[in-house]
Amino acid sequence: MLISVGTFKDVWEGLASQVGRRLVLFCICGLVILAPGVTTDAREKEEAGVTRAYGYVTKVESNRITIMSLMGNAKLLPLTTQEDFTEKVAKGSKVTAWYFEQGGTYTLKWLEYPLENSFTSSRSIRGRVRRAIILPTSGVPNADALYNATAQFLESNLRWRFAPQTAAEDIRRSKTSTASAEEVVNPSKSQEDPVQEDKDQRQLIPLIARNTKVNAVLEISVEQVAADVKRSVAVWDGVEEPINAPKGLLASAKSVVTPQKETVPAATVAFKLWDSRGKIMWSNRRGFALLALREGKELRERPLTEVFQNTENVQRWLEMVFRSILPASSLSPTRSP
């Protein structure tokens, strides 16, 4: 679930797997819970020759995803992809696909899939992980408190022990320096190559795990995104939050200019839990908080440092993020299944 400083609003992934165009709403502890998936603008999907299919994933390969379509007569749809979904969509996930047929081959055009994906069972994760390390990345200033809060939350609820985060950062920095030196010798390697980046990542995770003697690496990436605004409410990555600030709250903050009137800057957090061999076990993506609020007619900055002052909301947000992994005994009574 998501929780935000003013009024936290979030997505419970059990519902989020229902990736239709409907938006599921219910109240829990004063929060509005939303249940969307990863979506594409509906107008872009309406294209001649494109067919929509809803169903669940039976197989995921690097260049193909197979879906058991539940529309009409149930059938298996092997869809050729230009994107590798093996670490993004888990087998069994409910998805909506838009595809076209060409030369007897079905080619994926768009895919809606859950924000949270489990590639192994929660029981297996709890049984395998004893010692972990956080690998942080942030495009938003002052995100360190989130990494610390996450480690403390998992230590308390799952009894995981965490190796110093700086060790993972040092290993990544060392590997990056080596790669940069190679680029001087071979400039062609400096060009962006998604395949090479994925390969580097797969090598980095086991390297960190081996050198720090951990069972798992929890990758946490804090990103700045543009949240859509409708009727003074921002909605993004499974959460929503009102954009109006209490009077005087941000009086001294800088004004923010957005490229589009109907968007506002926001922070989203992407989590990936890897085992010591570099195999993904679980992933989740959740909106965290707005980075600007409206005061009067202006948008003003809201730094993450202000968000972290509401520790209760941050804890509730973390509970919703990790809900599927936590044992039932760790869930708050008001949120237990």
Task: Write the DSSP symbol of residue 234.
Answer: E
pLDDT of residue 318: 97
Kindly indicate the confidence band of residue 111, based on its pLDDT and cuts at 50, 70 and 90.
very high
Residue 8, pLDDT above cutoff 60: no
Between CA 36 and CA 287 the distance in angstroms is 12
Residue 85, pLDDT above cutoff 60: yes
- Enter the pTM of the model: 0.80
Torsion from C-alpha of 315, 318, 322, 324, nearest 10 degrees? 70
Residue 103, pLDDT above cutoff 60: yes
Residue 98, pLDDT above cutoff 90: yes
pLDDT, tens digit, for every residue of 62-73? Answer: 999 999 999 888
pLDDT, tens digit, for every residue of 17-26? Answer: 333 322 222 2
Q: Exposed, middle or buried, 270 (CB in 10 Å: 0-12/13-18/19+)?
A: middle
Place of tokens 């895919």: 111
Q: Which residue, 16, 6, 10, is CA-closest to 28?
A: 10
Between CA 82 and CA 63 the distance in angstroms is 6
Which one-letter amino acid corresponds to residue 151? A
Structure token digits, residue 129: 């992980």
Place of tokens 């039976």: 58
Between CA 206 and CA 200 the distance in angstroms is 11
Task: Write the DSSP symbol of residue 296.
Answer: T
Residue 37, pLDDT above cutoff 80: no
More confident residue, 169 or 3: 169
pLDDT, tens digit, for every residue of 187-216? Answer: 455 455 666 566 677 789 999 999 999 999
Kindly indicate the confidence band of residue 43, based on its pLDDT and cuts at 50, 70 and 90.
very low
Task: Write the DSSP symbol of residue 183.
Answer: H
Residue 166, pLDDT above cutoff 60: yes
pLDDT of residue 260: 53
The distance in angstroms from the start CA to the end CA of the chain is: 13
Residue 237, pLDDT above cutoff 90: yes
Compute φ and ψ for 67, nearest 5 degrees.
-120, 135
Share of the chain above pLDDT 90, in %: 63
- CATH assignment, 42-113: 2.40.50.140
pLDDT of residue 113: 95
pLDDT, tens digit, for every residue of 275-309? Answer: 999 999 999 999 999 999 988 778 889 999 999 99
Residue 247, pLDDT above cutoff 90: no
Compute φ and ψ for 52, nearest 5 degrees.
-105, 140
pLDDT of residue 185: 46
More confident residue, 308 or 262: 308
Q: Exposed, middle or buried, 144 (CB in 10 Å: 0-12/13-18/19+)?
A: middle
Kindly indicate the confidence band of residue 186, based on its pLDDT and cuts at 50, 70 and 90.
low
More confident residue, 10 or 144: 144
- Each domain of the chain, given as residue ranges in start order, spans 42-113, 116-337
Q: Which residues are bridge partners to 292 per DSSP?
A: 301
Give residues with Cβ within 8 angstroms of 215, minimum separation 6: 128, 129, 130, 131, 132, 209, 275, 276
Q: Which helix (H) or strand (E) holds 31?
A: strand 31-34
Mean pLDDT of the chain: 81
pLDDT of residue 255: 53
Give residues with Cβ within 8 angstroms of 53, minimum separation 6: 67, 69, 71, 77, 96, 97, 98, 99
pLDDT of residue 245: 74
Give residues with Cβ within 8 angstroms of 316, minimum separation 6: 1, 3, 8, 29, 31, 332
Place of tokens 């989740």: 284
More confident residue, 328 or 45: 328
Give residues with Cβ within 8 angstroms of 167, minimum separation 6: 133, 208, 211, 212
Q: What is the mean pLDDT of residues 109-124?
A: 95
pLDDT of residue 176: 81
Kindly indicate the confidence band of residue 11, based on its pLDDT and cuts at 50, 70 and 90.
very low
Q: Which residue, 89, 63, 6, 46, is CA-closest to 290?
A: 6
